[in-house]
């Protein structure tokens, strides 16, 4: 089994058909809902990879639900189903951050490729988020190292290159990552360098 999916439609027969197609395609159906309100609550609870959702439903339509889902649980992709292919609906769906769009009646031939596209978009987004997170972390570590280097330069009357070399040597000797060593210097001062070096 792969990828958790929820199915949202006010018609129980359509939900059952879609569930069967998905399960035959090797997907895991994590839950079902019959309107937008239920969908929002269900998705917040089970955090699926994908929601397949009808546009026209009682209480809250699929586009409004998609907007809320995107704000609350950005990791869930949405594939919208509709009996209409009106341009304004497509525009609204796109603005709601919907990954893909299918016109009813849905066949397995149409559904499974659309699911694959929606999930691959989600994977790309997840990968991009991870890259951004690592980049932010790298920038933060760089800032720590720069600040610590300034302290080392001042304390030992070294130039920038010498201070960095001193920190790097202690880092290699003690097998303490440079960013961790920098944080220790900022917290405890440059005695960290001699303590760390002796400890190693």
Question: What is residue 21's predicted lDDT score, i.e. its pLDDT?
Answer: 93
**pLDDT tens digit string along 147-197?**
999 999 998 999 999 999 999 988 898 899 999 999 998 998 887 777 555
Helix, strand, coil share (%) of the chain residues, nearest 5: 65, 15, 20
Ranges of CATH 1.10.10 domains, the chain: 133-199
Ranges of CATH 3.40.50.2300 domains, the chain: 2-106
Angle at 191 between CA 190 and CA 197, to 5 degrees: 105
- Give mean pLDDT, residues 140-148: 91
CATH for 133-199 is 1.10.10
Question: What is residue 6's predicted lDDT score, i.e. its pLDDT?
Answer: 93
CATH for 2-106 is 3.40.50.2300
Task: Check residues 112 and 200 and name the one with the higher pLDDT.
Answer: 112
Question: Rounded distance, CA 108 to CA 21, Å?
Answer: 6
Query: Considering the chain, what percentage of its residues have pLDDT values greater than 70?
Result: 86
**pLDDT tens digit string along 79-113?**
888 876 666 666 676 766 677 777 788 877 788 88
Q: What is the pTM of this model?
A: 0.61
């Amino acid at each position: 089994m792969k990828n958790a999916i929820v199915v949202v439609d006010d018609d129980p027969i359509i939900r059952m058909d879609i569930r069967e197609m998905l399960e035959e395609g090797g997907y895991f159906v994590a839950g079902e809902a019959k309107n937008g309100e239920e969908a929002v609550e269900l998705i917040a609870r089970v955090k699926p990879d994908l929601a397949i959702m009808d546009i026209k439903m009682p209480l809250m339509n699929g586009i409004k639900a998609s907007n809320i889902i995107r704000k609350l649980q950005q990791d869930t992709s949405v594939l919208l189903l509709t009996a209409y292919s009106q341009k304004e609906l497509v525009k609204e769906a796109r603005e709601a951050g919907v990954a893909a769009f299918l016109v009813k009646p849905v066949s397995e031939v149409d559904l499974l490729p659309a699911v694959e596209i929606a999930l691959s978009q989600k994977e790309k987004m997840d990968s991009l988020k991870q890259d951004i997170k690592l980049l932010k972390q790298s920038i933060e570590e760089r800032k720590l190292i720069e600040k610590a280097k300034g302290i080392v330069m001042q304390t030992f009357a070294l130039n920038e290159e010498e201070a960095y070399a001193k920190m790097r040597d202690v880092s290699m000797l003690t097998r303490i990552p440079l960013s961790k060593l920098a944080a220790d210097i900022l917290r405890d001062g440059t005695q960290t360098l001699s303590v760390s070096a002796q400890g190693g």
